[in-house]
Structure 1
Amino acid sequence: MVGATLLVVARNNERRTELADAGLAVLAREGARGLTHRAVDREAGVPIGTSSNYFRSRADLFDGIVRRIGERLAPEPAVLERLGRREPSRELFADYISDIVRRMNTHRDLTIALFELRLEAARRPEVAQRLTPWFRDAFAADVAFNTAAGLPGDAADIALFHYAIDGLMLDRLTVSIDPDSAADAVARDLVDRLLPEADCAP
């Protein structure tokens, strides 16, 4: 019985993940207004009513999508291992920032969906209530990682990089002021210009 229960849980989790991915696709393509349970069911190719069994409300659907964005945009373990073997330095910090930009630029649908969620949070307090803790926890985790890794930059510096990277990605995903510049080069320029020299002293 225990094995059967675990199998059901695994299948339920797999289906929940599939539905969250379908929701991400709808959100990125059609915006928040197009995100309905029916649209998610169609995108996932499942019977109408399936997604509402896993995500009872639209707010629950947003929750599932936010969690899935976090999972899919997470750093690759091999990249973290490779970077983690190096000594803390300004160059290493720049490589971490470049990896964030690379992931956001590679998974453009995820990044667009994330921007759509933030816009929806500006319109709907119930979405902001769900999204705000996730963003603030993610920021706190970034600061904690930076500190534990011995990298230069404090919480205020990390916040500046969040603002700058969000702006860079919005530029690249919409109408760019300089479409010919490489995102990686811009990311490294941000480190040179935003990170105080004093923070980089050995």
Structure 2
Amino acid sequence: MRQNPARRAALLDAAIEVLAREGVRGLTFRAVDVEAEVPNGTASNYFSNRDDLLTQVGHRFYERMEPDPGILAAMLEGSRDREHVTRLMHELVERLSDFRSGYLALMELRLEATRRPELRRLLTERIRADLDFNIGNHLRSGMPGDRTTVILLYLALNWLILERLTLPGVFPDEQIHDLVTEAVAHALPAPGNPA
């Protein structure tokens, strides 16, 4: 197996694009080579088999979605109120929506995980760790709300992003801002206003 990290990343990025466009059935070593504009056989030098490629694509998506350290620092700046949480959720929805191919590739991986136990294990561990990180970060930062608040926002906003990227006519872009704001308001009522 080849070890050039930049080439491996480029191949994985190409695989994300193929997955988003063609689905799991279209993800072949040849398709990745074509998308990455590398010689035939390059991807097969980097990944031992298709399962290995799928697993590494899952890792690469999360690498690329790691929030900028500035975003994490911004979470600790300013007020600790519902408006601040709302701003952070708007940023999150935009960041994930802007990486359309990555998000759609992740959805393809999630569907494929129902048939591949190793991929299911990887995604379960990674998504659980990501959710636990977000819960811990939220609680440590002193933001209002609790563990359930974070879980409700995770569930609501993930589905909203999926709708936005796959069936944009269901909720047109001009509604997205208001829907994110309302999701936060319902998951995190204003002080003195019970849910």
Amino acid at match of 2:186: R
In structure 2, the CA distance between the partners of 1:58 and 1:200, relative to structure 1 (3 Å rule), is farther
Amino acid at match of 1:142: N
What is the match of residue 5 of structure 1?
Answer: none
Q: For 2:18 and 2:173, how far apart are their aligned partners in 1?
A: 29
Q: 1:88 aligned to 65, 70, 80, which one?
A: 80
Amino acid at match of 2:181: R
What is the match of residue 48 of structure 1?
Answer: 40
Any idea what the Cα deviations from partners look like across 1:61-104, whole Å, max 9, x if unmatched? 12221122112222223333344321311111111111110101
Bigger Cα displacement from structure 2, 177-186 vs 41-50: 177-186
- Contact 1:69–1:114 (8 Å) recurs in 2: yes
Identity %: 39
Instruction: Find out whether 1:33 has 2:25 as its counterpart.
Output: yes
Give 1:198 deviation, angstroms. 5.5
What is the match of residue 185 of structure 1?
Answer: 178
- Contact 2:75–2:141 (8 Å) recurs in 1: no
In structure 2, the CA distance between the partners of 1:180 and 1:99, relative to structure 1 (3 Å rule), is closer
Give 1:20 deviation, angstroms. 0.7
With normalisation by structure 2, the TM-score equals 0.88
Q: For 2:41 and 2:173, how far apart are their aligned partners in 1?
A: 45
Any idea what the Cα deviations from partners look like across 1:106-147, whole Å, max 9, x if unmatched? 111111111111111123333212211111111111111111
Instruction: Find out whether 1:159 has 2:147 as its counterpart.
Output: no
Aligned length: 192
Matches for 1:99-138 after TM superposition, within 5 Å: 99-138=91-130
Q: For 1:188 and 1:81, how far apart are their aligned partners in 2?
A: 22
Q: Tell me, which stretches of 5 or more residues in structure 2 are unaligned?
A: none
RMSD: 2.2
In structure 2, the CA distance between the partners of 1:197 and 1:82, relative to structure 1 (3 Å rule), is closer
Q: For 1:26 and 1:182, how far apart are their aligned partners in 2?
A: 30
With normalisation by structure 1, the TM-score equals 0.85
Q: For 1:139 and 1:155, how far apart are their aligned partners in 2?
A: 10
In the TM superposition, structure 1's runs of 4+ consecutive aligned residues that sit over 6 Å from their partners are: none
Q: For 1:200 and 1:112, how far apart are their aligned partners in 2?
A: 37
- Contact 1:122–1:128 (8 Å) recurs in 2: yes
What is the match of residue 166 of structure 2?
Answer: 174
Q: For 1:162 and 1:82, how far apart are their aligned partners in 2?
A: 19
- Contact 1:21–1:68 (8 Å) recurs in 2: yes
Q: For 1:166 and 1:70, how far apart are their aligned partners in 2?
A: 15
In structure 2, the CA distance between the partners of 1:162 and 1:121, relative to structure 1 (3 Å rule), is same
Amino acid at match of 1:29: R
Q: Tell me, which stretches of 5 or more residues in structure 1 are unaligned?
A: 1-7
Amino acid at match of 2:135: V
- Contact 2:23–2:105 (8 Å) recurs in 1: yes
